[in-house]
Structure 1
Amino acid sequence: MSGPDNLGRRFVYAPGFFKHDQLPTGPDKGFRAHTFPEFGILDRSYGTNDPGEPALTQWQRFEKHIRHLNAADPQKDQYRVLLVARHGEGVHNVKERESKWARLEGDGTTTWLDARLTEKGEQQARDLSGFWKEALEVSKVPAPDRHYTSPLTRCLQTARLTFADVPLPSGNSFRPIVKEALREIHGVHTCDKRSSRDEILSQFPEFALEPGFSDEDELWKPDHRETLEERIPLMRQFLHEVFQDAESTFISLTTHSGAIRALYKAIGHPDVWVAAGAVVPIVVRSKSSA
């Protein structure tokens, strides 16, 4: 399903860097990807590696390689490394196991309209925070140049709990940009209807809303469930914006299972399903269609 966007760029995933690319696909195999140590980076050599630099970690060698590729021809092929987190377990994940609840807003005691994290989900996000701290210090994973997140509360909570106290380099502050393109596949299920602009800004003032973010949710419909194919054009537009930002190479996304699968389709990546509270890395290559 990968193909050019309406601005003449083609986005494809670049394999051969992470274990995650080689994992089983789909829940029918009883598998969902979890966070690998060092994000599952493969132990390999690169043409840009200097034999006199044995002290570099595998991530430092990978970073040097990616930056070399981007500098080689800025007008042609470019690369971005997406570190994609699925939010922690939400209230809706628990209740939707009883399918009758998916279309309702609550059960009389709990609401899952724009569902929040469960206690387990909050702990999963805190665990990710610890993982990131170790990855930055020990593995020398580059700190994200930019953070993007879904506008749904469970993702905003996950992003905050993950990165709020992770030490980032000077000038690399945690101020995530909230993007509609990263929200869950929407419609019918009330857990995927977002809160209003004012509610989001009130609860998460340290986050930045993308330009044109509507006051109320104008995408969610009670009688139509968006398909993965319907999300692809918006996902390609998001990728175009990501690649327009020449200063950001390593990028954190906090999003949802369905949105990750739509991203996969947009770039031709295998359909590796992701567990709640897990991070998977994806290398995306932007190619000119000319």
Structure 2
Amino acid sequence: MGIGWQNAVIALGIALTAVIYLHLSTAHTQKLAQEHTNQMYHLSYVPGFFKHDQQPTGPGFRAKTLPALGLLDRTYETDPDFDPHREKSQWERFGNYVAHLNRASSKVQYKVFYITRHGKGLHNVKEDEVGRAEWEAYWSRLDGDATKEWIDARLTEQGVKQVEYLRDFWRHAFSHSQVPPPERYYTSPLTRCLETVQISFTDLDLPENRPFRPIIKETLRERFGVHTCTKRSTRASIASRYPGWEIEPGFAESDELWQPARRETEEELKNRLLSFLNDISQDHATIISLTTHSWAIRGLYEAIGHPNVWPDAGHITPLFVRVESG
């Protein structure tokens, strides 16, 4: 009888601990999701400038990096004064047009996002092996199998090659297409994104006034919970692997958002991305690099009204955004 009661007390203690953990984690998730209600900015995508805006939506099509990022061949109202003889590149004329828009109003600003989906990760390989249904039901909840580990998944060899191609793409785009380098680099804290942004922009001839110093943002991470590939490493581990990178203030040492039995809802994801967008709208940079995940990109698109174009792994999609304050 005594041992039975002891076991019952232990079991009750474990259950209460789990309930408290779930409550605290859920409260933290809901706080992130609700921060969008205090927005200082309204963001919307501006159509008619990039080919990606016109591409098919849904999972049957995967958007890939296009030459010169798919900037449409078109004229701008600023062309007659800036380039009367059409001697400048499309990107030079577009950049001048964006600068003109940003000078026109202090309440409305325009930004260009270079959105990169990370290269192929070890979790993607396992899902390919077993199929989506079995991955969702069983394997996604494990840390790995007998041959690989996908908790906070790293890039595969194929994923590394994909982002090495992105580095070559950027080198050509900067020098031949006059695509402007990013003024700011934001990235998810998950390892596959950290590896992607590091490889993509290493050994490039970047302007001194636009140094490569990524800012790691919790709100730019993948839809979290249940799947172990969405659980991030500790702050100390990230800082030791990427010295000199900026980790945003308030970034917890351990992952306080990921829960083994609860996944972030799509609505919470969209609201979290709204919070992220509201945060970086205070950044005066016009050209901004975002390195993130498939779910996060789709949540971002939904947040600003962009068509639901699914990005392929290791590819870049541009986005022209209007930011209105007040």
TM-score class normalised by the smaller sequence:
over 0.9
1:18 alignment partner AA? F
2: CA distance, partners of 1:228 / 1:279? 23
Q: Secondary structure at the match of 2:141?
A: coil
Q: Deviations over 1:49-75 (max 9, x none)?
A: 13425221101111111111011001x
List per-residue Cα deviations over 1:224-262 (Å, max 9, x = no partner). 11122102232222212222112x100001100000011
Q: How does 1:82-161 map to 2 (within 5 A)?
A: 82-97=113-128, 98=130, 99=135, 100-161=138-199
Kindly provide the CA deviation profile for residues 2-34 of structure 1, in whole angstroms up to 9, marking residues without a partner as x.
xx852342111111100000000011xx21000
Matches within 5 A, 1:1-290: 6-27=38-59, 30-50=60-80, 51-74=83-106, 76-97=107-128, 98=130, 99=135, 100-246=138-284, 248-288=285-325
Distance 1:260 1:186 in 2: 14
Q: Compute the TM-score of the two structures, normalised by the length of structure 1.
A: 0.94
Tell me which amino acid in the other structure corresponds to 1:89.
K
Q: Specify which structure has the higher proportion of helix.
A: 2
Uncovered stretches (5+) of structure 2, i.e. residues with no partner? 1-35
Percent pairwise identity: 53
- The answer (yes or no) to whether the contact 1:228–1:261 under 8 Å persists in 2 is no
TM-score by length of 2: 0.84
- 1:20, 1:64 → 2: CA distance? 21
Query: For residue 45 of structure 2, what is the amino acid of its counterpart?
Result: Y
CA contact (8 A) 2:41 2:281 kept: no
Q: Give the Cα–Cα distance (whole angstroms) in 1 for the partners of residues 293 and 85 of structure 2.
A: 39
Q: 1-side partners of 2:211 and 2:325: how far apart?
A: 32
2:120 is matched by which residue type in structure 1?
Answer: E
The 10-residue stretch of structure 1 (236-245 or 99-108) with the greater mean CA deviation from structure 2: 236-245
> What do residues 84-143 of structure 1 show as CA deviations (whole Å, max 9, x unaligned)?
000000000011232131110010221101000000000001000000000000000111
Cα–Cα, structure 1 residues 199 and 8, in superposed 2: closer, same or farther, change >3 Å? closer
CA contact (8 A) 2:226 2:258 kept: yes
Aligned equivalents of 2:179, 2:314: Cα separation in 1: 19
For residues 170 and 149 of structure 2, what CA distance do their matches in structure 1 show? 31
For the residue of structure 2 that corresponds to 1:31, the secondary structure is strand
Change (3 A) 1:224 1:139: same
Question: Matches of 2:143 and 2:101 in 1, distance apart?
Answer: 48
Farther-moved stretch of structure 1 (227-236 vs 83-92): 227-236
Aligned length: 282
Helix, strand or coil at the partner of 1:286: strand
Mark the runs of 5 or more structure 1 residues left unpaired by the alignment.
none
- The one-character-per-residue Cα deviations of 1:139-165 (angstroms, maximum 9, x if unpaired) are 001110000000000000000000011
Q: CA deviation at 1:287?
A: 2.2
